[in-house]
Amino acid sequence: MGTVEPRLTLLDRAFYVSLILKGLDGVLELIGGILLLVVTPAQIGAIARFLTLHELSEDPRDFIANAVLNLVDGLNVSVALFGAIYLLLHGVVKVVLVWAVLRDRLWAYPWLIAFLLLFIAYQSYELIVAFSWALLLLTVFDIFIVYLTVREYGIHKSRRRRSIRREE
């Protein structure tokens, strides 16, 4: 008689969807890091001005367009290099850990939890220094993923223990 696979609960599905979103975010960070290495700050500024030109011609006070221009105005080679290194390291770690958790590598769960907790702490500090709704939502999302990861880790550990006991 074969084993019956447990049905996926709503939380199980939320966990897998959240992991996939985190993995995609990691891939985007890798792409962003590579772009920061190969595109100069002047080129980034020119692209930003081109992309916001139409919007600003319609509404010179457009919040998002002005925020993009303010962001790229402060960009120089050292800031771009720091951003590239940060994005590349963060992206690689995120992609590797998400991949390992999706492949059910038990060692990856605590590493993913620790990694997310470090970034939650950093994001919390940033929220205190300069509040941002986007950062608050990202932090809440990361807290939710930590909760789901702890839950899944416990489920997988107990399932492995039962499997080992049956084999003995």
**For residue 6, what pLDDT is reported?**
65
Conformational region of residue 7, where left means phi above 0, alpha means psi within -120 to 50, and beta covers everything else: beta
Yes or no: say if 101 and 19 are a contact pair by the CB < 8 Å rule.
yes
**For residue 1, what pLDDT is reported?**
47
CA angle 107, 83, 124 (to 5 degrees): 65
In angstroms, the CA 57 to CA 131 distance is 29
Terminal Cα distance for the chain, rounded: 18
In angstroms, the CA 145 to CA 139 distance is 10
**DSSP 3-state of 40:** coil
Per-residue pLDDT of the chain (168 residues), as tens digits, is: 455 556 788 988 999 999 999 999 999 999 999 999 999 988 988 999 999 998 889 999 998 898 889 888 888 888 889 889 989 999 999 999 999 999 989 999 999 999 999 999 999 999 999 988 988 998 999 999 999 999 999 998 888 888 777 776
Yes or no: say if 87 and 33 are a contact pair by the CB < 8 Å rule.
yes
In sequence order, the 6+-apart residues with CB closer than 8 A to the CB of 22 are: 94, 98, 145
